[in-house]
Amino acid sequence: MKFDSITFDPDKKEFVAILSNFAQKYSLLLLDFQENEIEKATKLAYEICSCLELNDESARVFCASKLLRLKNETWLEDQEQPFTKEKFIETLELESILAFSDGSFSLYFDDNDIFWGHCIVVDVENSVLLDANLAG
């Protein structure tokens, strides 16, 4: 994961950073910052980049550990085979990241219809994966 750029959106009063991983680009929204806190926001963006580089697979495994049972017990469509842990993990795609000035952040994964189009959100604090939930 690589940090590409950061800008302040005065209309929304948030920083927007762009991260990339090969050809993929991701938006990192940094909330609760003042416009003059670009150094603090940039430092957090770099920390999140490093965390993702080391923990992207761990976040996916964490999602599977929290949500695979729910998928297989409640969200299977007619004739759909239960998901394996491996299939669940490889199906997830990181979409974006939402961060706060206290350093906590949430990873938003596209579920590719595992949960019929709901987004999977993983909450992270101090580089610790706290929880994974469905949203949207």
Residue range 48-60, pLDDT digits in tens: 999 998 888 999 9
Stronger pLDDT, 99 or 127, i.e. the higher one: 99
Residue range 9-65, pLDDT digits in tens: 989 999 999 999 888 999 999 999 999 999 999 999 999 999 998 888 999 999 999
Residue spans per domain, the chain: 2-135
Quote the pLDDT of residue 133: 97
Decide if pLDDT at 136 tops 90. Answer: no
Residue range 70-117, pLDDT digits in tens: 999 999 999 999 999 999 999 999 999 999 999 999 999 999 999 998
Quote the pLDDT of residue 116: 93
Which is it for strands 24-31 and 93-100: parallel, antiparallel or unpaired?
A: parallel
Question: At 32, which amino acid appears?
Answer: D
